[in-house]
Structure 1
Amino acid sequence: MFSPYRCQICGETYLGSDAPDRCPYCGAHGRWMMGAAEWVKTGKVEMSEQSYEDCMKAIQLEVGNAAFYKCAQKNAQTQVTQAIFKRLQKQEAEHAELLAEMAGVEEPDLPDEDCAGNDDAQNLADAHDREQRAIQFYLQVADRAPEKRVQEVFRALADIESEHLKISNIYR
Structure 2
Amino acid sequence: MKKRLSIAVLWLACVLQVGVANAEQVLPDPEGRVILKVSGNIDRTNVSEEAHFDFAMLTDLPQHQYYTGTPWTRQPFHYSGPLMRDLLAYLEADGKHIHVSALNGYEAYIPTRDFAEYDVLLALKRNNEPISIREYGPLWVLYPFDHHTELLNETFRSRAVWQVMKIDVR
Q: Bin the TM-score by the shorter chain.
A: under 0.3
Which one has the bigger strand percentage? 2
Please give the TM-score of this superposition, normalised by the length of structure 1: 0.25
Which one has the bigger helix percentage? 1
Specify the structure having the higher radius of gyration (Cα): 2
